[in-house]
């Protein structure tokens, strides 16, 4: 059997960022306002520091100003909420990104909820989840939003297809399932308590792996012709799917890296400019 076609997230993300940069420049020219993304980081976890720096660099290249708030590791939930509430009220800030995971002493849900929904360009608030679940106006969580955009780009219409989402996190598994359901897929959620994961995955026309366990999905469990989206991040650039095995059976597959990853940041930037456009009201 021939190998699956690769879904090129890097190339699509580049085009989205170019479009976003044009929209940002246009907004600035028309209104004098530069879109601004505030990034908030608690503590100095090296991986988080790297992620935030990358997001700031990408923002800058897209004509988005970034404002960084670095809080000490000992910051309390209330202090963090105070910071996020102030940024939510600040008219010069259009989008807010709270880098997570945070320390265990922080109530993450309470912190996320302090972000105004219209500035929730990372799609982490409950309001954004509801919007994704019911097709209401709002911002998508960035990885799920990026996955849907990638499917569209490759003309994958989820309607009537069986989609299996492996993982049920608040910002990845659950929302991507709701987005696929909104596009009329028959959606199944699997997770650590699923009894026979292989059997469920074998039914899938579209598999979204979003659980963070290296090569959990075996190539032999991919239905011939299925579309495979690997949103897993594991050390050593290993996805949640056995890429080599899955590639022999799938029709389309995202590489790791270069598949879902770049789409996440592209979605963040596009949503920030969209937020600035809406808030500027022109």
Binding site: what residues are annotated? Answer: 167-169
**Cβ at position 133, least distance to its own copies in Å:** 6
Q: Which is nearer to its own copies, 174 or 215 (CB)?
A: 174
Sequence-separated (6 or more) residues with CB below 8 Å from residue 15: none
Residue 160 lies near its own copies (rule: CB under 8 A): yes
Q: How many CB atoms lie within 10 A of CB 149?
A: 18
Residue 191 lies near its own copies (rule: CB under 8 A): yes
Query: Which of 41, 187, 201, 246 is in the footprint of its own copies by CB under 8 A?
Result: 187
Q: Which of 56, 119, 120, 122 is catalytic?
A: 122
**Cβ at position 5, least distance to its own copies in Å:** 23
Task: Tokens 């980081």: give the residue.
Answer: 41
Residue 209 CA to residue 216 CA, distance in Å, equals 9
Q: Which is nearer to its own copies, 9 or 173 (CB)?
A: 173
Which range of residues in 61-69, 170-178, 251-259, 272-280 is near its own copies by CB under 8 A?
A: 170-178
Which residues in the 216-275 window bind its own copies by CB under 8 A? none
Q: Are residues 170 and 196 in contact, defined by beta-carbon separation less than 8 angstroms? A: no
Six-digit token string for 100:
């997570």
**Would the CA dihedral through 190, 192, 195, 197 be positive or negative?**
positive
Residue 11 lies near its own copies (rule: CB under 8 A): no
Q: Which is nearer to its own copies, 175 or 261 (CB)?
A: 175
Binding footprint of its own copies, residue count (CB under 8 A): 29
Give the bridge partners for 39, in sequence order: 68, 97
Residue 168 lies near its own copies (rule: CB under 8 A): yes
Q: Which residues are catalytic?
A: 55, 99, 122
* Binding footprint of its own copies on the chain (CB under 8 A): 109, 126-127, 129-130, 133-134, 136, 159-162, 168, 170, 174, 178, 181, 184, 186-191, 193-195, 200, 203
């Amino acid at each position: 059997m021939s190998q699956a076609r690769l879904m090129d997230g890097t190339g699509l993300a580049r085009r989205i960022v170019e479009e976003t940069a044009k929209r940002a420049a246009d907004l600035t020219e028309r209104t004098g306002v530069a879109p601004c993304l505030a990034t908030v980081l608690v503590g100095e976890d090296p991986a988080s520091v790297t992620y935030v720096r990358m997001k700031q660099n990408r923002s800058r290249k897209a004509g988005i100003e970034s404002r960084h708030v670095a809080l000490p590791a000992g910051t309390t939930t209330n202090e963090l909420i105070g910071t996020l509430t102030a940024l939510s009220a600040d008219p010069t800030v259009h989008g807010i990104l709270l880098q997570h995971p945070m320390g265990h002493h922080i109530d993450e849900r309470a912190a996320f909820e302090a972000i105004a929904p219209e500035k929730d360009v990372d799609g982490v608030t409950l309001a954004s989840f509801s919007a994704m679940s019911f097709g209401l106006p709002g911002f998508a969580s960035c990885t799920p939003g990026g996955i849907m955009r990638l499917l569209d780009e490759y003309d994958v219409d989820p309607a009537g297809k069986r989609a299996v989402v492996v993982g049920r996190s608040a910002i990845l598994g659950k929302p991507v399932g709701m987005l696929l359901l909104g596009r009329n897929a028959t959606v199944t959620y699997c997770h650590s308590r699923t009894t026979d994961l292989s059997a469920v995955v074998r039914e899938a026309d579209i598999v979204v792996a979003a659980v963070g366990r290296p090569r959990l999905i075996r190539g032999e469990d991919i239905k011939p012709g299925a579309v495979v989206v690997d949103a897993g991040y594991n050390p050593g650039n290993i996805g949640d799917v056995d890429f080599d095995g899955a590639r022999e059976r799938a029709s389309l597959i995202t590489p790791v890296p270069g598949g879902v990853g770049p789409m996440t940041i592209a979605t963040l930037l596009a949503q920030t400019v969209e937020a600035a456009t809406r808030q500027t009201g022109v």
